[in-house]
Every structure is written in C-alpha cells, then in structure tokens.
C-alpha cells in the first residue's frame, strides 16, 4: 500500500515514515499541500495523511483537490493547533478521521488498518 504523508514538520514526517514504512507500506513524504497534490497526481496513493496547517496550501484544501481527482482515496488529517472548526472542516472535505497531536504512531497505523479491514469486510 502506498501512503502519502504531507507534514511540514520534517522531523515528524521522517518519524512517521520510519515507523510506518515496511513490507506493508511504501511511504512518500510531502512538505506542503502543493507538493502533496503534485505527488498524488504522479503516483496515485492508496491512503493520505495530511497535516491541516501547512505552508503554500493547507491540508484541507489539498485534500479537496485530491478528492476531486479521486473521490475514493481515504485520508486522515492531523493537527496540533487546529480548532474544532478546522477539524470538522477536514471531515467535511473528505477525511475519515482527524487526529490531534501529539498522537501515538500506533494509533495512526491502527486507524489505517481499521479502515482497510472495514472497507474490505474482513478482519485481517
């Protein structure tokens, strides 16, 4: 499964990639919303994780663009400083969930795996 992580905090992006990458996941990193959209166009990811607050193009608007390209791609948003309104807006834009920083990487991984179990109707 190819996952796109859009996170302007490079240290967190690298941490997420290192923790998620392995036999089940291939991780691509984007540092802002524009980079994320361009990478999605060129590689078509199976899952997206967006920071809500990013330079150039925020995660909510990047998600809206990507959802126009592929309405079925699942996405989770993350944020450390977004208010409840931003979190709700990210869900309206198409995110299946919004996680608040700090969060456990295991929680993110669990949410990704739960989505695929539920979508495929099995308990892998």
Print the SS3 string covering 80-106.
Answer: CCCCHHHHHHHHHCCCCEEEECCCCHH
Give Cβ neighbours of residue 119 (< 8 Å, ≥ 6 apart).
74
What is the fold, at CATH topology level, of the domain defined by 2-120?
A: Rossmann fold (3.40.50)
Secondary structure letter of residue 121 according to DSSP = T
pTM: 0.89
97 C-beta neighbours (distance < 10 Å), count = 18
Residuewise pLDDT in 10s, the chain (124 residues): 899 999 999 999 999 999 998 768 899 999 999 999 999 999 989 999 999 999 999 999 999 999 999 999 999 999 887 667 888 899 999 999 999 888 889 899 999 988 888 877 765 4
- Domains of the chain, by residue range, sit at 2-120
């Amino acid at each position: 499964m190819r996952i796109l992580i859009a996170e302007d905090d490079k240290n967190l992006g690298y941490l997420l990639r290192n923790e998620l990458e392995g036999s089940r996941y291939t991780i691509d990193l984007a540092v802002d919303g524009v980079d994320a959209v361009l990478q999605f166009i060129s590689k078509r990811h199976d899952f997206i994780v967006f920071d809500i607050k990013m330079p150039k193009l925020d995660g909510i608007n990047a998600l809206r663009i990507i959802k126009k390209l592929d309405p079925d791609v699942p996405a989770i948003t993350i944020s450390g400083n977004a208010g409840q309104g931003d979190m709700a807006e990210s869900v309206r834009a198409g995110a299946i969930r919004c996680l608040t920083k700090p969060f456990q990487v295991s929680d993110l991984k669990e949410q990704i795996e739960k989505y695929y179990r539920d979508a495929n109707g099995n308990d892998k």
